[in-house]
Structure 1
Amino acid sequence: MEILLAQINALEVTSKDEFQTKTAKILRELVQGQIHSLNEFAHLKKAIDMVTLEVFKVSQAINQQRAD
């Protein structure tokens, strides 16, 4: 995605008219939105992993208490 963003920036710099410039700006916003979404997805995955680990720990503690 970063490479695509760099290419869009180059496209904007070399644009010949206002239409091309505005198109490049729109493309940049779309790519930045996708980058943000991917980063948020990674954070959500980490949070789910942490919750899963805590649920596993609680489950183990409950099973240990039942065994005693």
Structure 2
Amino acid sequence: MLELQQKIKQAGLRVTHPRLAILTLLKQHTEDLTVKQIYQLLHSQQQRLSLATVYRVISDLVGCFHG
């Protein structure tokens, strides 16, 4: 978890629950996932994030890590 928090901070973003939840999920799954799949997997893990939040977080992360 600390590693993910550091990566978020290094990207110039605040560490938030949605960002940590999504990065943790992506770290656990090596296959490519759509935003809808990420949303569904989070809900199956009792992570109640809206679909709009998932899209926004993914957009922020892509912009920072691949921008």
TM score, norm. by length of structure 2: 0.33
Q: More helix by proportion, 1 or 2?
A: 1
Larger Rg: 1
TM score, norm. by length of structure 1: 0.32
